[in-house]
Amino acid sequence: MENKSLNRIIYLLILLFCFASCHNLFDDDDDDQPVSEYLVTYEMIKSYTPTQIEWAFDNLFSGYPELMTIKDKFNLGLVVYKISYNTVLQGKDEVASGLVCIPMGEGPFPLLSYQNGTNTEHSNAPSVNPNRDLYLMLEFISSAGFVISIPDYLGFGSSDNIFHPYLHKESTVQSVIDMLRAVEELAQIRSVQLKDELYITGYSQGGWATLQVQKAIETQHSNEFNLEASAPAAGPYDLGYINDYIRELTEYPMPYFLGYICHSYSNLEVMTTPMVEIFNEPYASKIPDLYDGSKSGEAINSELTTVISDLLTQNYITNFETDGTFSSLRSALESNSISAWHTSVPTKIIHGTSDAFVPFEVSQNLYNDFKEEGAGDQVELIPLNEMDHTGGIIPAGLISVLWFLEISND
């Protein structure tokens, strides 16, 4: 898939949004009213008619033959809501937010939760920037008959007053599951009938979050959610492995990932290691100000360095595994990684074989571990041949959606 095709899609999606902004399918006098146990507020922000959806396929998706073969399934109008909902971070009540896409029709509709990838900008949260190309594409998927939940994650949207707990298992799982509960309450309020089917997927950080949520649902919430299938993609499932991988490199193209993890764990007080023990100056002193929600990952990278020996202290590079200085970080990486289990949920682990940000071996190792745990044919590894981290986003999404449609329509 060429970049010019993606650029054309983005341009036309923006044009379509302009049409959608001028037309609401119905008025909603109940917006922004506190309701229910989890749902705090909801606001309809835009809608699309079936005619606009048809236009989108004719003008946007002709370069994606996989989608064109199921064009007839994308025939419903849809409404997009911004919601806020109750959740918890380390025992403290918080109000998080996200986007919800609801198809127009009789239903019942299955529920799909999409966990987005690493974001450092408050302005790029799903509920803040619902016109971003990726979120627009997800909205159109709703026209195939899915109610779609897209969490902002804590630290973004309505909770941008707190620091995002990046790659923190407990709060991520809690916020995603609480949003699913809020979406169910919204569906009830709007008289939308839901199928007893949940599908989950996500990419990069979102792939990691998807697998964390899958395990939590299977082990703790199976009576509440009927998880039909899971498609985690390019996730950093084994944080210790990735840390070792980076320490052994001469250069790493995404140094802001490292700073994000360490700053997150420091804020959460699950890591007590001083930044100066991990990062060389001037980078150690820069890190707290770099992650203030105003800078992109690219901008943060430009303030750091890709040269590992310049970025990280020599003691960290050579003695991380044994030096007591790093014991709290070792523990945090281990406790926020995810190990295989005997899953009963059909799972596709998707990953680009040329990924230099999150190495393909992370998914290969996890797949092997699932097999050792007796998961059998329930888990499948889908290599995206010669695709890097960025190039795998759309193919992984297509694989996931087509698979979910196949299962849901059986």
As beta bridge partners, residue 113 has 149, 200
What is the predicted pLDDT for the residue at 52? 87
The CATH 1.10.260.160 domain(s) of the chain lie at 240-335
Could you give the CA distance from residue 190 to residue 29 in angstroms, rounded to a whole number? 12
What is the predicted pLDDT for the residue at 8? 55
On the CB side of 295, how many CA atoms lie within 13 Å of its CA? 17
What is the predicted pLDDT for the residue at 55? 83
CATH superfamily of the domain spanning 3-237+346-408: Alpha/Beta hydrolase fold, catalytic domain (3.40.50.1820)
Nearest to 356 by CA among 322, 306, 395: 306
Could you give the CA distance from residue 300 to residue 322 in angstroms, rounded to a whole number? 30
Could you give the CA distance from residue 271 to residue 410 in angstroms, rounded to a whole number? 47
Structural tokens at position 60: 């946007």
Question: Residue type for 65, please?
Answer: P
* Residue corresponding to tokens 């109008």: 77
233 Cβ neighbours under 8 A, 6+ residues apart: 201, 202, 203, 204, 206, 207, 210, 349, 350, 351, 392, 396, 397, 400
Structural tokens at position 72: 């007839």
Signed CA dihedral, 55, 231, 351, 163: sign only: positive
How many angstroms from the chain centroid is the CA of residue 219? 21
As beta bridge partners, residue 78 has 48, 103
101 phi/psi in degrees, rounded to 5: -115, 125
Q: Write the CA distances from 102 to 186, 192, 279, integer angstroms.
A: 10, 8, 45
Dmax (CA) for the chain in angstroms is 63
* Residue corresponding to tokens 């003695």: 319
How is domain 240-335 classified at the CATH fold level?
434 Repressor (Amino-terminal Domain) (1.10.260)
The pLDDT profile of the chain, 410 residues, written as one tens digit per residue, is 444 455 555 555 555 555 554 444 444 544 544 458 999 999 999 999 999 888 877 776 677 776 677 778 888 999 999 999 999 999 999 999 999 999 998 889 999 999 999 999 999 999 999 988 888 888 989 999 999 999 999 999 999 999 999 999 999 999 999 999 999 999 999 999 999 999 999 999 999 999 999 999 999 999 999 999 999 999 999 999 999 999 999 999 999 999 999 999 999 999 999 999 999 999 999 999 999 999 999 999 999 999 999 999 999 999 999 999 999 999 999 999 999 999 999 999 999 999 999 999 999 999 999 999 999 999 999 999 999 999 999 899 999 999 999 999 87
The CATH 3.40.50.1820 domain(s) of the chain lie at 3-237+346-408
Question: Residue type for 25, please?
Answer: L
What is the predicted pLDDT for the residue at 401? 93
Structural tokens at position 27: 């008025």
On the CB side of 29, how many CA atoms lie within 13 Å of its CA? 0
